[in-house]
Every structure is written in C-alpha cells, then in structure tokens.
Amino acid sequence: MDHGEDLFAHFEHFVGNYWCDLQTGQISRMESHEFSQWLAWYQDIKNRQVGYTRVTEEVYISTVFLAMCSDKFETIIFNGPHNRYQTRYETLKDAIAGHRVAAVLAITALKPHLN
C-alpha cells in the first residue's frame, strides 16, 4: 500500500476536502467516492500552488489552496523578518493579490540587505 494512502486511510469519512480549478477559481467539495482521485490531485503541489516567490536562498513566499478540511487559500512567508506571516483568503483572486502583497512585504524588509 502507498504510504500516502495509508496516511490518509478513511480520512474522507471525517472531514470535508475540496478541489479548486486554478484556471477558473471554481471550488467544489470532494465526494466520498472521489477520495483516491482527490488524493492523487492533492499530492501534486502544482494542482494547488497559486504562487511561489523566492526572495533569497532562505526567504520565500508560498500561496496554496489548502484543500484539506478547508476551501480557503493561504499565503505564508518563510524565514526573514516576516517569518510566519500568514494570511488566508476566500477566493483565488484574493489569494493572487495577497501573494503579491506578501512578496512586496518580504522584499521591502530585505531590500537594504539585497545586493
């Protein structure tokens, strides 16, 4: 058995999982009979990643569709002065805009150190 399937065994019975079409922003709830297909979709980050910006070798921003137990998007800044900055969004449009805001925030904070 695949470790991913083992890890998520019977998970579909306890929580609401969601799909998001990153082309249209349409969000839909996973049906229980779709769990195997949803799991394969979920494990490929390209299906859920709205934005990824690397500011330095250590500092980066990631915005993803959460999909598991949530129909929300989330942006996090990793490392740097704004480490753990986190914001959630209801729509793909807001997530794209929020990713840009976080990137500007991280870049502006590091600007004196970037050369």
Model confidence pTM above 0.85: no
**Which one is predicted more confidently, 36 or 62?**
62
Residue 15 or 104, more confident: 104
Can you spell out the DSSP letters for 25-61? --EEEPPGGGHHHHHHHHHSGGGTEEEEEESSSS-EE
Res. 115 pLDDT band, cuts 50 70 90: low
What does the domain layout of the chain look like in residue ranges?
Answer: 3-113
1 pLDDT exceeds 50?
no
